[in-house]
Chain A
C-alpha cells in the first residue's frame, strides 16, 4: 500500500543515494541490453548462400623447357635395372633433375594391398627413382598420394612408405589442411575442386609413377589416371564422366617425367586386382616426357589399343600430348 506504515518506512526505506545508485545500475543494464540488441539486430535473416570462394591455386609446369620429347622403353623383370636403362634412353636423370632440386614423386598407393598384387606402384620402383633423384643432386624427394583406402594403411601395406624412407625420401600422407581448391582454365569438371597441394609447395620437379592396370570404367589406369590421386573431396563423382576427367587431369598436370611400370600388368579385375591370376608378366618399363604417349604405348601391354581408350584420343586432341608414340622415336632396350 502506498504510504504504508510510517514505522516501516523509517526502518526499511532506502536512502536517496542508494535509490539513485540502484536506478543508475538498472538504467545501465537497460542501456546495455538495448545496445547489444541493436548491435546484433538482423532484420533480414539468413540469405541464400553463395558458394564459398577461396583463393584457388595453380599447378606449375614441371616439364623441362626446351626438352625434346622422349620415351625410353626397357624390357626386363628387375625394375631397378629397367628404370635406369629407360631413364638413360631419354637422356639420363641428370637431364631432368639438377642439383638442389626438390622432387615430388606421385605414386599410386590407392589400395591397402601388398606389392605382389601390383595394384599400386611397386616399392622397388619408388626406392630406385628416389635414389636416382638423390644421386642426381636432389635435396629432397617427397612421395605422396591421396589413396582410396585408409591412407596410413595404404602406404604401410604397399611397402611404399618403407621403400621411400629407406631410400632417403619423405612420405607425405594427405591431411585435410593439405588440400586447396584449383580451377583448371576452360575445364568443365576441375572447377574449384580440392587438390592435394601441400606437397607441391616446395618442389620444382614432378615425376608420376604408375603401374599398368585394367580399369573397368575407363579401360585402363596408367599415368594420366594416376593424377586422380591428387584430387580430394568427393572425387569419385567424376566417374560419371571418366574420360573427361582423365583428359582434364592430363591438362592440369604437366610433369617432368612419367614412369609407367609394366613389369607385371594387371590384366583383369582392375583396378584392385586381388589375385596373382589377375596379373601378367609384361616385362616393360616406360619412361616418358609425354604422358599421353606413355599411356598409348602402355595400353598395348594389356591387349588394348589407344583407340579403345577414349581418354587418350581426347587428351591428345586437347593438346596434353601425342597418342602416336612413334612420333617420340621411342628407344627400345
Chain B
C-alpha cells in the first residue's frame, strides 16, 4: 500500500471517529449514545490542551496524559498529527483540494509556496502560552513575602550575574541562561511591586483557536443542532445555542479560506500546528530531497499541504507529512529519511527575538488586561450561573477550553455558550440559560461534570451534588439562588393564583414555600346581605358574574364577624353565594351586613438555605418573557464570596 493511501485512510478514519464521538455525545443508554465511548479522546490527544492547562493549573488532568503520546510521536516523526489525524486539518485539506483541483499545475504550486506570514501562527502560540504561563512564573519566582531583605539581595545578585553573563556571552546556552535569570529578576520585582497575584494572573485562551476544541464546539453547537431538528435528530428534539452564529461564522470562515489558500488555517493561524512545528525540531525522520540536482518541475509542490517548499530549502517545521511530494516526484528524489534534505532545510521558524518578546509580553499583559473589568472581582456577573461542579471562577477560566462538550451532553439543553457580556475569557464557556431547553438544570444529573475533559467542571457524584451520604454535612452544591420578582409574579402582583414554581421545585423540603393571603376582589358596589343562612348568602343588589367565584379559589368573609374566617364559595349566581358544606358560617350575617369576596392566593417565597439554583422554577414560570422568578449566581457554592445569607 502506498503511504499516501495510508495517510488518506488515516485521515478519513479519524474524521469519521471524530464525528462518531460527536454523535455519541448524547445522554442515553443506546449503543450509539454515551456509554463508555471515549468521546474526549481526540481532545485529550491535543498537546496544546495538555500543555496550556499544565501551565495554568500545574497539573495534567486524567485523560490529558494522552497528549504525551502525541508529543512523543511528534518529537520523533514531525507534524504527523496535522497531516494524518487532525479532523479539522482533514477538512481543510479536502476543501483546499476542491478549490484548486481544476487549476493548472503551476498555479497549484504557486498556491503552495511558503509565505512569510506563516510565522503568524507562532506568534499566536507564543501569545497564548504566555497568557497561560503567568501563574507558573509566579510559582517559580514568587518572592517569599516574609524575607524581603534577603530576597532583594538575591535579586540583586541574580541581576548582576545575568548582566555579567550576557556581556561575556558567546555561547547561546549562556545567553539563554542570562535571559532566564533576567526574566526571573524582572518577574520578582514586578511581583514585589504589585504585591498582588491578581495583576499577574494567567488565563486560558487556547480554546478560542486550538483546532480540536474549535471543531468540537462548531460541530456540537452549530452543525449537530441544525440536524437535531430533522426527524433523525440525535438529541431528541430541537436544540438551541445562544450566539451560535458567531461560532458558525468562525468555522465557516476557516473552512472557506481554503478556497483562497489551501490549509489557510493550518498555515497561518493554528497554534497547535505551531506547537508541533517546534516540537518536531529534532524529528528523527524528515522529508527531504536525496539529490540537490533535479528538473525543477515543482510537481512536488503542486499538492504540498504545509507549504514547506520541498523542492528547495524545506521548512521542516511547516511540513505536515502529507507525503504528496514523495508520491508525486517523478524521479523519486523526495524521501522521508533520517538525513537532511540535499537542498537544505530550515528546522525552526523564523521568529525574530523582537517578535518573540512582543508576543510573549502581550500574552503576559493580556490576562491582567482582561481582568481590569473586574469580572473576577467585585464586578462579577450574577448571570454567570455555571453548571454544578464548576470550579471557582478564577480556576475555572484557567481550565475551560470552550469545547462545548458539556453543552452537547446536557440532556436539557440548559448549558449555553456564554457571549461577549462575560468578557473574552468567558466567551463560549458554559453558562446556564433557564429560558432555553426542556427544563432547568436537572436535579439528578451530573453529566456535564463527568464529561469535561479538563475538569473545569470537576467530576462530581450524585451524592456530592445532592449533599447525601458522605456529603450530608457539606450540603448540596448550589449553583445560584432563585429570586421572586414581586412586581411580575402573578400571586404577588396580579392577585392571580399560580405557584407553578413551588410545584416544580425539586428539592425536599422545597426551597419555595408559600404564604396564604386572602385578597379582596373588586365588585360593582358593596355587597350588602339581604338574607343568609349557614351556607347561602343572598345580596340586596348585586350583579355578580355568574359562576365566576365557584372555582374553589374564592372565599367570602363577613368583616363584622371576626370570629368566622373566610368561607370557600362553591357556587354563585348574580345575587347569591353558596358556601362550602365543609365550613358553614357559624353565625349567619344579619341583613344589611357587608360581605367581602376574597381570592385565596399562595404567594411564593424562596428559602435560600434550601435553594440550589437549578432554575426549574425559572424555566416553568408562566410569565414567559422576563420570568417572575429568576436564578442568579448568588449563594453559589463554588465562589464562597458570593454567599448571600448567614449560615
A interface residues with partner B (beta carbon < 8 Å): 111-114, 148-153, 156-157, 173, 175-176, 215-217, 234, 236-237, 239-244, 268-269, 271-275, 277-278, 305, 307-308, 310-311, 313-314
A268: B residues at CB distance < 8 A:
509
The answer to whether A114 touches B503, judged by C-beta atoms less than 8 angstroms apart, is: no
Please judge, given known A-B contacts A150-B438, A173-B236, A307-B581, whether A273 and B411 are in contact too, CB under 8 Å.
Answer: no
The answer to whether A240 touches B445, judged by C-beta atoms less than 8 angstroms apart, is: no
The answer to whether A278 touches B508, judged by C-beta atoms less than 8 angstroms apart, is: yes
B549-567 residues at the A interface, CB under 8 angstroms:
550-553
**Nearest CB of A to B355, in Å:** 51
**Nearest CB of B to A23, in Å:** 39
The answer to whether B514 touches A234, judged by C-beta atoms less than 8 angstroms apart, is: no
Once the chains are docked, how many angstroms separate the CA of A285 from the CA of B412? 34
Once the chains are docked, how many angstroms separate the CA of A150 from the CA of B509? 22
B580: A residues at CB distance < 8 A:
307, 310
Please judge, given known A-B contacts A239-B498, A239-B499, whether A277 and B508 are in contact too, CB under 8 Å.
Answer: yes
Once the chains are docked, how many angstroms separate the CA of A269 from the CA of B512? 10
The answer to whether B442 touches A149, judged by C-beta atoms less than 8 angstroms apart, is: yes
Q: For the complex, is B443 an interface residue (Cβ under 8 Å from A)? A: yes
* A117: nearest chain-B partner, CB-CB: B508
* B621: nearest chain-A partner, CB-CB: A236
The answer to whether A153 touches B497, judged by C-beta atoms less than 8 angstroms apart, is: no
Once the chains are docked, how many angstroms separate the CA of A150 from the CA of B442? 8
**Nearest CB of B to A277, in Å:** 7
The answer to whether A150 touches B412, judged by C-beta atoms less than 8 angstroms apart, is: yes
The answer to whether A242 touches B497, judged by C-beta atoms less than 8 angstroms apart, is: yes
* A157: nearest chain-B partner, CB-CB: B444
The answer to whether B620 touches A156, judged by C-beta atoms less than 8 angstroms apart, is: no
Can you list 22 residue pairs at the A/B interface with Cβ under 8 Å? Answer: A111-B506, A112-B444, A113-B443, A149-B412, A150-B437, A150-B438, A151-B236, A152-B236, A152-B411, A176-B237, A216-B499, A216-B502, A236-B500, A239-B497, A241-B551, A243-B552, A272-B506, A275-B508, A277-B508, A307-B582, A313-B570, A314-B570
B237, B502, B602, B624: most-surrounded residue (chain A CB, <10 A): B237
B551: A residues at CB distance < 8 A:
241, 243-244, 310, 314
Please judge, given known A-B contacts A153-B442, A156-B28, A310-B551, whether A269 and B508 are in contact too, CB under 8 Å.
Answer: yes
B411: A residues at CB distance < 8 A:
150, 152-153
* B29: nearest chain-A partner, CB-CB: A156
B437, B444, B568: most-surrounded residue (chain A CB, <10 A): B444
What per-residue 1/0 map shows which CB atoms of B21-56 lie under 8 Å from chain A?
000000111000000000000000000000000000
A307: B residues at CB distance < 8 A:
580-582
The answer to whether B514 touches A274, judged by C-beta atoms less than 8 angstroms apart, is: no
Once the chains are docked, how many angstroms separate the CA of A307 from the CA of B584? 12
**Nearest CB of A to B636, in Å:** 20
The answer to whether A148 touches B550, judged by C-beta atoms less than 8 angstroms apart, is: no
Q: For the complex, is B541 an interface residue (Cβ under 8 Å from A)? A: no
The answer to whether B510 touches A269, judged by C-beta atoms less than 8 angstroms apart, is: yes
The answer to whether B507 touches A274, judged by C-beta atoms less than 8 angstroms apart, is: yes
Once the chains are docked, how many angstroms separate the CA of A272 from the CA of B499? 13
B581: A residues at CB distance < 8 A:
307
The answer to whether B444 touches A114, judged by C-beta atoms less than 8 angstroms apart, is: yes
B423-441 residues at the A interface, CB under 8 angstroms:
437-439
Closest 5 CB pairs of A and B: A310-B552, A274-B508, A275-B508, A243-B552, A307-B582
**Nearest CB of A to B258, in Å:** 38
What per-residue 1/0 map shows which CB atoms of B475-518 lie under 8 Å from chain A?
00000000000000010000011111011111111100010000
The answer to whether A272 touches B505, judged by C-beta atoms less than 8 angstroms apart, is: yes
Q: For the complex, is B622 an interface residue (Cβ under 8 Å from A)? A: yes
A243, A272, A314: most-surrounded residue (chain B CB, <10 A): A272
12 further A-B pairs in the complex, CB-CB below 8 A; given A175-B237, A274-B443, A274-B507: A112-B442, A112-B443, A113-B444, A152-B28, A153-B445, A217-B499, A239-B499, A242-B553, A243-B552, A244-B551, A275-B508, A305-B582
**Nearest CB of B to A325, in Å:** 17
Once the chains are docked, how many angstroms separate the CA of A156 from the CA of B444? 12
B505: A residues at CB distance < 8 A:
272
**Nearest CB of A to B577, in Å:** 15
Once the chains are docked, how many angstroms separate the CA of A241 from the CA of B551? 7
* A161: nearest chain-B partner, CB-CB: B29
The answer to whether B503 touches A217, judged by C-beta atoms less than 8 angstroms apart, is: yes
A151: B residues at CB distance < 8 A:
236, 438
A313: B residues at CB distance < 8 A:
570
Once the chains are docked, how many angstroms separate the CA of A268 from the CA of B624? 28
Selected from B236, B439, B568, the residue in CB contact (under 8 A) with A148 is B439
A271: B residues at CB distance < 8 A:
503
* B233: nearest chain-A partner, CB-CB: A175
Once the chains are docked, how many angstroms separate the CA of A176 from the CA of B499? 26
**Nearest CB of B to A328, in Å:** 21
**Nearest CB of B to A126, in Å:** 18
Please judge, given known A-B contacts A216-B514, A240-B498, A310-B552, whether A153 and B506 are in contact too, CB under 8 Å.
Answer: no
B411, B500, B508: most-surrounded residue (chain A CB, <10 A): B508
Please judge, given known A-B contacts A148-B439, A239-B500, whether A113 and B582 are in contact too, CB under 8 Å.
Answer: no
The answer to whether A234 touches B502, judged by C-beta atoms less than 8 angstroms apart, is: no
B467-481 residues at the A interface, CB under 8 angstroms:
none
B490: A residues at CB distance < 8 A:
240
The answer to whether B582 touches A241, judged by C-beta atoms less than 8 angstroms apart, is: no
Please judge, given known A-B contacts A156-B28, A241-B551, whether A310 and B503 are in contact too, CB under 8 Å.
Answer: no
The answer to whether A308 touches B622, judged by C-beta atoms less than 8 angstroms apart, is: no
**Nearest CB of B to A288, in Å:** 23
